[in-house]
Chains A and B, each alone.
Chain A
Amino acid sequence: MIELIDVTKTFNRGAANEYRAVRGITLELAAGESLIIKGPSGSGKTTLLSMIGCMNRPTSGRIRLTGETIAGLVDTDASGFVEVTSLPERFLTAIRRRMFGFVFQQFNLIRGITALENVMQPAYPVGIPRRQIQHDAAELLASLGVGHRQTALVEHLSGGEQQRVAIARALINKPSVLIADEPTAHLDTVLSREFMEIAAQLKKMGTTLIIASHDPLVYESDLADRTIVVRDGVLVTTDTEL
């Protein structure tokens, strides 16, 4: 459902501080598959994730997507794929919020509003009635075991609770792909294990997972269908486990 063909990303092109973050990565990912991207910090993992997640566009190469969640949003080619490489930003956004949910390294929750409102927030511009969003968000929080913390301000939540709120937020628009960038970097072992359990459940429900991490707890788990290593923006190995 996701295809990357010789994708590169160069920042500050032509300037003295030109920096090639991703250099010619080709990658294919099927629906329901879970992929773990290994690599040291600064290896281009985040840039790669942000391109897959339609946050920005590659400098060259192609990215193609398909899936029910984005059907009808943009014209597809004969094989049912959407070429997102040079789509205008507003379409990237529309695709992103239907297809992808994001869990960030820092949870990136909005302070000063409640856990529930944080979860609801990505659904606002989609045009769903507020009551519906509220209901979905409450349900998500409950299923993640933090239903009782709905009305608490996020800054009053513990690290683990914040993590769950962030996951609930990523799921509010019912994405088919969950992208997580170093999700366990700020968590202790117990909480990291909890995250992996949630991820395993999502996988069981059919969600595609893309997780970038250099935490052994993540890449040595049996969650991954496939683990790839990125170093200096280049795909080093593709080792299939099991």
Chain B
Amino acid sequence: MTPALDRQRNILDFTLSSLLRRRGKLLSLVFIYSTVVFVLASIMFFTHALRREAQILLADAPELVVQRMVGGRHDPIPLEYAVAISEIRGVSGVQPRFWGYYYDADLGANYTLQAVSDNSLQTGNIAIGAGLAQLRGLGNGDAFSLWGSDGQPRTFTVSRVFSPASDLLTTDLIMTTEGDLRELFNFSKGTATDLSVAVRNPREVQTVAERIVELFPDCRPITREDIQRTYTAVFDWRSGILLVTASMAIWAFVIFSWDRASGISASERQEIGILKSTGWATEDILLLKLWEGIIVSLTSFLLGLIGAYIHIFFFSAPLFTSVLKGWATLYPSFRLTPFIDYYQVAILFVLSVFPFLLATIVPSWRAAIIDPDNAMRGGA
């Protein structure tokens, strides 16, 4: 090894031993540091995982959904539109969809009601999401009543409960037949909630959408790409807001680490004085401090990261499910698919390690310039 490498190794060795000598200080610093990383990492892992789930689900969503707008509001769409749209070049199929929301006053929860497009259900039967089934204590064959828009209750039989794997979108879902849904919501004949349009060539989606608007100026086509973009923006925005809130924690942490690094104890001060008097240069002490910062940072970073990983993917984020998913009483209790995204890790690294190193640089230098003859004059 070259002298330069030996110097690095020797100083690193010494840093480790002096960190271990000050275990108490080290532990409290690592604890706070890794908590900050843990919070940041949990937020990022969680929102990122949600976004991935949403994107996986959206992959099965129709390429194009056409809604009719009346007075700027979503209105039922006449079925004749479907015929005209199916004749546009490039359209391979048009499927009317029927859905709506149902407010359950007992639970204060909103359900999504949707009609099946095939014959998988019989009249009077419903399929429900696992969250709803659990909340209401329902199983196959049980009866469940919903209030119609005429004020009369209707009783349905549960014929299926969706498996927990498809939780994110189905937890509050009730599937019925088209006829039952029309009857319950009193939908007028000849209209659908919206139309799902299949396009043969994905590159033509935009052209088809433009053609639809030409034919029916009162319609709003929504492409899957639009939805994806909105989702991405919404999730980024949510995690962004949380991170901004969390950056207050970062700032508090920066001030804390500044304080920690600058308020070196009398014994540490004396020790640096001894090192300098026996032949350590300012640069050597700076190196010692740099190693110290790197060791503390990396340890805390890894601890926080591993903690967050376990929190999100093994325990499904118990600490802030309600904050993040927040919009529904019935939130999914699903397991997120574990993943490691290097980009997310890199962001976390920049968010947590950079501020620490920046905050400790000036205090480290202050410690490094202690006069070497301090030791001769009986310590600090």
Contact = CB atoms under 8 A, between A and B. Distances in A.
A125 B10 contact: yes
Given A102-B277, A121-B275, A127-B7, A46 B372 contact: no
Interface string B2-29: 1111110111011001100100000000
Where chain A touches its partner, the secondary structure class is helix
Interface residues of B, number: 37
Contacts, number: 100
A110 B379 CA distance: 12
A129 interface: yes
A110 B271 contact: yes
A97 B167 CA distance: 69
B372 A124 contact: no
Nearest to B282: A89
B346 interface: no
A8 to B, nearest CB: 16
A130 B371 contact: no
A169 interface: yes
Interface centre among B10, B17, B267 (most CB of A within 10 A): B10
B279 interface: yes
Contact of B280 (A112, A125, A130, A133): A125
B279 A55 contact: no
B17 A117 contact: yes
Interface string B238-272: 00000000000000000000000000000100010
Given A108-B274, A113-B21, A117-B17, A93 B372 contact: yes
Main secondary structure of the interface of B (DSSP, over half): helix
Contact of A124 (B11, B267, B271, B377): B11
Contacts of A105: 376, 378
Contacts of A55: 277, 371-373, 376
Contacts of B1: 129
B284 interface: yes
A49 B279 contact: no
A123 B280 CA distance: 9
A42 to B, nearest CB: 11
A126 B3 CA distance: 7
Contact of B376 (A49, A89, A96, A169): A49
Contacts of A117: 17
A113 B275 CA distance: 13
B88 interface: no
A127 B4 contact: yes
A173 interface: yes
Contact of A126 (B7, B267, B276, B377): B7
Interface string A139-178: 0000000000000000000000000000001100100000
A196 B25 CA distance: 41
B91 interface: no
Interface residues of A, number: 37
A93 B279 contact: yes
A97 B10 contact: no
B281 A90 contact: yes
A125 B379 contact: no
B6 A104 contact: no
Contacts of B280: 93, 122, 124-125
A181 B18 CA distance: 27
B379 A108 contact: yes
Contacts of B7: 124-127
B376 A104 contact: yes
Contacts of A43: none
B375 interface: yes
B117 interface: no
Contacts of A133: 10
A112 B21 contact: yes
Nearest to B279: A97
A205 interface: no
A96 B277 CA distance: 9
Interface string A1-24: 000000000000000000000000
B260 to A, nearest CB: 19
Contacts of B278: 97, 102, 121-122, 169-170
A181 B275 contact: no
Interface in B354-380: 371-373, 375-379
A97 B278 CA distance: 7
A9 B32 CA distance: 46
Interface of A: 46, 49-50, 55-56, 89-90, 93-94, 96-97, 102, 104-106, 108-113, 117, 121-130, 133, 169-170, 173, 181
Interface of B: 1-7, 9-11, 13-14, 17-18, 21, 267, 271, 273-284, 371-373, 375-379
Given A93-B372, A113-B21, A121-B278, 10 more contacts: A89-B281, A93-B282, A94-B281, A96-B372, A102-B376, A125-B11, A126-B7, A127-B5, A130-B6, A169-B278
